[in-house]
């Protein structure tokens, strides 16, 4: 039986790039069918009812209406998975906060080897996106989440996002983005985490309730000083990771994170998290110490990151190597190193993502005595990595993304 075509609408103001995608994407994967293109956001909105795309590729930086404003107008009407195509620009994270499923870095069009690899990578992301769960932006009342003790911040409370310096995240609404899906496919579903309701083709924007404080009771515990929290994520993970970190206290045990992301974007992502969360967040460099109140993000590009023991403390080793499970950095590389070095003095968290990267590393952590948490299907953009981890017995407990911080803190408070 022939697999159903994935209908793709290209939204980009560059005629050269539109022509490139129109030619190369179907060659990269025969399931992809280009059903149209739009040179502006307004043109795209007009064409969507007729072209009925399953996936949209979207240039973030467009004149008149940019990608972020386009998403705000698009998703309430059409729950269609959107993949961002962006240059090295921090605005991509604002667009992800507003409901985009994933992103790719625009290639250097003067280099054939770069464009070929780009087309293949984007084609793979389109296939993943066609089965992804669309997330709508969270809406909330009151003051925005502010960094640490910034003026007007509310200390001791898990922060609740906001866009563009205030950390808007994604509330779970929307079914899968399978071929032929429209807004009407999400009918009458209520999400308990956000109190969001969708009815037919319309929806009520989710309003988040204030979260209870997430505090560590045994603050001076030696166990917490020696404990490592390792987190891994892929598609949908930028916002899922933010949802977890923004609700954690400043004195959280040292954390190490691998998020599948292109080179250059991880530094901007770490800077964004550092502004929005209570703890220090930075892109890791070789030799960085893992310590309480610090989160280290594996750099995207040509290296993996692992944890090593150096005397009485843990550090990270960032090193070049071949891809593992098709990824670099790989979540499995990180998790397996934590299993070997920290053993039972660790917590592993696996979030949304396609494939199985991290699942077997989490199993190693679980078998070494670590406490392991998997994101549940309902709150995942793509229930792949957490599903494999659950199926092979690597997960101690499953939880929705919004509840993972409470699950983690409850465990830590019992140590």
What the block records as the tokens of 134 is: 């669309």
DSSP 199-229: ETTEEEPPEEPPPPP---SSTT-HHHHH-EE
Could you tell me where the beta strands, DSSP code E, fall in 234-286? 255-259, 280-283
Number of Cβ within 10 Å of residue 222's Cβ equals 9
* Residue 28 near residue 119, CB atoms below 8 Å: yes
Please identify every residue annotated as catalytic.
Answer: 234, 260, 357
Nearest Cα residue to 24 out of 84, 114, 89? 114
Backbone angles phi, psi at 218, to 5 degrees: -90, 65
The alpha carbon torsion through 68, 74, 79, 82 (nearest 10 deg) reads: -40
Q: Is 79 left (phi over 0), alpha (psi -120 to 50) or beta?
A: beta
In which residue are the tokens 């592993």 written? 348
User: What is the C-alpha to C-alpha distance for residues 45 and 57, in angstroms, rounded to an integer?
Assistant: 13
């Amino acid at each position: 039986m022939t697999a159903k075509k994935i209908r793709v609408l290209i939204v980009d103001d560059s005629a050269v790039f539109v022509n490139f995608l129109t030619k190369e994407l179907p060659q990269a994967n025969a399931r992809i069918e280009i059903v149209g293109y739009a040179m502006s956001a307004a043109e795209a909105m007009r064409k969507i009812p007729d072209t009925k795309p399953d996936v949209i590729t979207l240039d973030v930086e467009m004149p008149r209406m940019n990608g972020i404003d386009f998403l705000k107008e698009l998703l309430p009407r059409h729950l269609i998975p959107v993949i961002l195509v962006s240059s090295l620009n921090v605005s991509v994270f604002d667009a992800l906060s507003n409901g985009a499923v994933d992103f790719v870095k625009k290639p250097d069009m003067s280099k054939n080897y770069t464009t070929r690899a780009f087309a293949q990578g984007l084609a793979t992301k389109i296939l993943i996106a066609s089965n992804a769960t669309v997330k709508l932006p969270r809406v909330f009342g009151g003051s925005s989440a502010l960094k640490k003790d910034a003026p007007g911040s509310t200390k001791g409370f898990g922060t609740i996002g906001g866009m563009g310096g205030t950390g808007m995240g994604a509330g779970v609404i929307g079914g899968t983005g399978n071929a032929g899906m429209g807004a009407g496919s999400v009918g009458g579903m209520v999400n308990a985490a956000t109190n969001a309701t969708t009815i037919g083709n319309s929806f009520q924007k989710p309003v988040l309730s204030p979260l209870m404080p997430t505090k560590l009771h045994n603050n001076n515990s030696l166990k917490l000083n020696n404990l490592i929290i390792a987190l891994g994520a892929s598609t949908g993970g930028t916002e899922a990771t933010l949802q977890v970190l923004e609700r954690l206290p400043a004195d959280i045990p040292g954390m190490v994170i691998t998020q599948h992301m292109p080179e250059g974007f991880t530094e901007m992502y770490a800077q964004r998290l550092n502004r929005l969360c209570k703890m220090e967040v930075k892109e890791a460099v070789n030799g960085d110490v893992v310590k309480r109140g610090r989160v280290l993000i594996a750099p995207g590009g040509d290296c993996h990151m692992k944890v090593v023991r150096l005397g009485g403390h843990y550090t990270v080793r960032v090193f070049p190597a071949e891809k593992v499970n098709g990824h670099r950095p790989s979540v499995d590389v990180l998790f397996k190193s934590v299993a070997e070095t920290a053993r039972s003095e660790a917590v592993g968290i696996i979030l949304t993502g396609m494939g199985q990267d991290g699942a077997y590393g989490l199993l190693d952590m679980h078998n070494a005595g670590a406490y392991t948490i998997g994101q549940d299907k309902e709150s995942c953009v793509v229930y792949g990595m957490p599903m494999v981890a659950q199926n092979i017995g690597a997960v101690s407990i499953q939880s929705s993304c919004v509840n993972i911080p409470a699950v983690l803190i409850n465990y830590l408070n019992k140590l």
